[in-house]
Amino acid sequence: MNTFGIFLTISAYTFFSWAYSKKKTPILNPVLLSILLIALILKVGNISYEKYMESARFLSFLLGPAVVSLAIPLYKQINIVKEYKKEIATGIITGGTTAILSAVYILKAFNSPEILQRTIAPKSVTTAIAMGVSEKIGGIPELTAVLVILTGILGNALAPELLDFFKIKDRVARGLATGVSSHGLGTARIILEDELSGAVSGLAMALNGVYTAFLLPLIIELIV
Amino acid sequence: MYKGLAIIFGFLFLGELIESLGIPVPGSVLGMLLLTIALITGIIEIRDVEKEAEFLVKNMSIMFIPPGVGIILYLDLLKENIVAIVTALIFSFLITLWATGKVVEVLRR
């Protein structure tokens, strides 16, 4: 077994994590930059994706158990779920559904291929769940992963400012809006502004993942 | 350490088993739901899985890189639809943020 892929991935991620720790701006997202650098190296070196994946696959294999592990933060925050159950349910149904329909219908308006509509549909959900859903509904999980990260960068860079601009002041509303629109990367930003907003955002992310995982297979054939 | 991993992989296996019965939801999501229920009901104790699960969650980011590099297989599709994709990403994010925030804020009054 070659170790080229796993070495390349860990090195790139270590380097860009270091760069990010020096200048914490969302566009320096270590995952996105690692993907772009490795893609460039493969292109320039004329190395096939298969060759790279021979060993790198080991890392993405851990996504399955990592998603299962999301049960722990969910369980630990169960009191917040109970306290704001009405708001959380409403926010997730509104946001989760809006995120899917708006993305799919905008691509439709541009006459983009059906496979892209399926690929973009889960883009507001945390990456690991989004990739699983994308695969289930006939999208391209690899592209979904990149679209999810780009969505998260938007939330990380802009969510609090946009919420101010929209004059949304309630802390629970701000957390829910951020979590359902831009998952973990949005959560990482809003938690710096307010602890309650951050906690609600993290929960919204996890529960929107579950909501989308159940909803999309049911409605995808109706909307694409 | 092995007990925690056995629980995590056990629930993943259970989730995939249910998925294979024809439920169109990823097995990992089903496993997560079942583990949450098991923790709430006390079937599984949090201290038995906490450390291993938190290690996996904390290190999730690097796991997205290998599949993400797969974009090189779809560069033509991306190029042909780049305007549509960028428009959809930005507007869908804005509408979702606005609609959710407004609805929940009204509910809170």
Tens of pLDDT along chain A (224 residues)? 589 999 999 999 999 999 999 998 988 999 999 999 999 999 999 999 999 999 999 999 999 999 999 999 999 999 999 999 999 999 999 999 999 999 999 999 999 999 999 999 999 999 999 999 999 999 999 999 999 999 999 999 999 999 999 999 999 999 999 999 999 999 999 999 999 999 999 999 999 999 999 999 999 999 99
As for how many domains chain B has, the answer is 2
**Does the interface predicted TM-score (ipTM) exceed 0.85?**
yes
- Write down the pLDDT at residue B109: 85
Q: Are residues B49 and B1 in the same domain?
A: yes
- The full set of domain ranges for chain A reads 4-63, 71-223
Q: Are residues B5 and B55 in the same domain?
A: yes
Is B91 in Cβ contact with A68 (below 8 Å)?
Answer: no
- Chains A, B: CB pairs < 8 Å: 295
Q: Are residues B48 and B15 in the same domain?
A: yes
Is A141 in Cβ contact with B39 (below 8 Å)?
Answer: no
Domain encompassing residue B101: 64-109
- Out of B11, B78, B95, the one facing A68 most closely (by C-beta) is B11
Q: Are residues B52 and B68 in the same domain?
A: no
Is A129 in Cβ contact with B28 (below 8 Å)?
Answer: yes
- Write down the pLDDT at residue A26: 86
- Out of B57, B59, B87, the one facing A72 most closely (by C-beta) is B57
Q: Are residues B52 and B84 in the same domain?
A: no
- Write down the pLDDT at residue A190: 95
Please name the residue of chain A whose CA is at the shortest distance from the CA of residue B10: A65
Give the tens place of pLDDT for each residue, B3-23. 999 999 999 999 999 999 999
Q: Is the pLDDT of residue B79 over 80?
A: yes
Q: Are residues B18 and B47 in the same domain?
A: yes
- The alpha-helical segments, DSSP class H, found in B1-109 are 2-20, 27-41, 46-58, 60-63, 65-69, 75-80, 82-108
Is A170 in Cβ contact with B25 (below 8 Å)?
Answer: no
Q: Are residues B49 and B84 in the same domain?
A: no
- The alpha-helical segments, DSSP class H, found in chain A are 4-22, 30-44, 49-61, 63-69, 71-76, 78-83, 85-109, 114-120, 127-136, 141-165, 171-193, 195-223
Q: Are residues B54 and B72 in the same domain?
A: no
Among B46, B63, B80, the domain-final residue is B63
Query: What is the Cα–Cα distance from B84 to B81, expressed in whole angstroms?
Result: 5
Q: What angle do CA A12, A30, A36 make, to 5 degrees?
A: 65
Q: Are residues B57 and B92 in the same domain?
A: no
Q: Is A122 helix (H, G, I), strand (E, B) or coil?
A: coil
Is B72 in Cβ contact with A107 (below 8 Å)?
Answer: no
- Write down the pLDDT at residue B82: 98
Q: What is the pTM of this model?
A: 0.94
- Write down the pLDDT at residue A2: 87
Nearest C-alpha of chain A: how many angstroms from B5?
9
